Amino acid sequence: MENEMRAPKAAEADGHDDVAVRIARRTLAARGAGYADEVRRLLDAGLTVMDRCGTESRPRVADIVAEAGLSNDAFYRHFPSKDALVTAILEDGTSRLGRYLERRMARAAGPEARVRAWVGGVLAQADPDVAATTRAVLWNGGGTGGLAAGRHPASATLAALLVEPFAALGCPDPAGRATLAAHAALGRLADLLWAGSAPTPADGEALVAFLLASARPG
């Protein structure tokens, strides 16, 4: 009888308690969903507060958690520092920009048209309706990660989108030249952002001509 009573505990020790495992997994899944919501709220709040502060002042953690409607504990559960949040906002912005460019390029017919769509989408980040936010995020990220080393956080993501159209144009080194093209385009974007200038059609045409010349063999 004693051995029979101990059998369920032995099963638990062997990992065969299906009910306990299912409940534990359900709890973890619910907690994970809640944490993902917290992170999204903090990212969105951080972007909102940065936009509000512009390049005049840096937001405080207290400002961000107040905007998100969360606590300091929630903030530090996901981010060890404010710089870590800024890095995550830069990564989130890079991901969004990459998806935006992919959609633009998918609607274009032919490699030249895809390069034009890419250029238009990149330079659109200097349009007045979004330039202030872009400028504020880059200003806040100036001491973190790639920006501190002089690298734009989106350069690799944006370069990857040019590899296919460059290859289709006969480029002998599509990955290498796409990287150079992305650096050139982001450099021009930075010039426009910090000058507070909106891109002109001439800006777009000049950049398209440069990229197409870079992509073609010879």
Same domain, 118 and 212: yes
What is the sign of the dihedral through the CA atoms of 93, 96, 102 and 107?
A: negative
pLDDT higher than threshold 90 for residue 112: yes
Tokens for 200? Answer: 């002109």
Residues 106 and 48 reside in one and the same domain:
no
The candidate with the shortest Cα–Cα distance to 88, out of 124, 133, 43, is 43
- At residue 27 the predicted structure's pLDDT band, cuts being 50, 70 and 90, is low
Same domain, 139 and 218: yes
The percent of residues above 70 in pLDDT, for the chain, comes to 83
Q: What is the pLDDT of residues 34-87, one digit of tens each?
A: 788 889 999 999 999 999 998 888 999 999 999 999 999 999 988 999 999 998
pLDDT for the residue 149: 43
C-alpha closest to that of 48 among 136, 127, 123, 139: 136
Please check whether residues 9 and 32 belong to one and the same domain: yes
Same domain, 112 and 69: no
Token pair recorded at residue 97:
């920009």
Query: Tens of pLDDT along 3-25?
Result: 444 444 444 445 556 765 675 67
